[in-house]
Amino acid sequence: MAAEQKAIPVPDERTKPYWDAAKEHKFVLQRCTACGLWNATPRVICPRCHASDFEWAQPSGKGIIHSYAIVHQTTAAGFQDEVPYVIAHIIPIEEPTAFIDGNILIDEKDFDKLNIDIPVEVVFEDRGEVTVPQWKLA
């Protein structure tokens, strides 16, 4: 039986700019043009000022680990050969309210370096036609 493929994100109208930028290895987030709030999840109305005009802008790609988990068993397609691996809740340094979830790409021998509040930076994982922003220790 052939190994299963990792899930491939399916961009929609609202998320297409994010995935298009990732394909070019650029990390972008939606930002409210009225108040400057960064959104990790694209919005139609700004949760802070209720404006509805946004732009896609490029933050630093740096953040800190808010929380993380080391996955030792998974039923997630395409990840069975990658255990143990790390999933994390990342806080971008520009916007402490815009949590981003992703994998920390790290060798198992370095798991003892993981901790809350340590810096990470974005990296890009090409998965066929889609590129997925991921994270590594900075």
Instruction: Compute the chain's Rg from CA coordinates.
Output: 16
Query: Binding to Zn ion (CB under 5 A): which residues in 90-129?
Result: none
Shortest CB 12 distance to Zn ion, Å: 22
Ramachandran sector of residue 58 (left: φ over 0; alpha: ψ -120 to 50; beta: rest): beta
Ramachandran sector of residue 47 (left: φ over 0; alpha: ψ -120 to 50; beta: rest): alpha
Residues paired with 38 in a beta bridge:
31
Burial of 39 (0-12, 13-18, 19+ CB in 10 A): middle
Q: Give yes or no for residue 34 binding Zn ion (CB under 5 A).
A: yes
Among the residue ranges 29-37, 59-67, 79-87, 88-96, the one whose residues contact Zn ion (CB under 5 A): 29-37
Nearer of residues 63 and 95 to Zn ion, judged by Cβ: 95
Nearer of residues 29 and 32 to Zn ion, judged by Cβ: 32
Instruction: Identify the residue among 37, 91, 104, 106 touching Zn ion (CB under 5 A).
Output: 37
Name the residues that contact Zn ion, by CB under 5 A. 32, 34-35, 37, 46, 48-49, 51
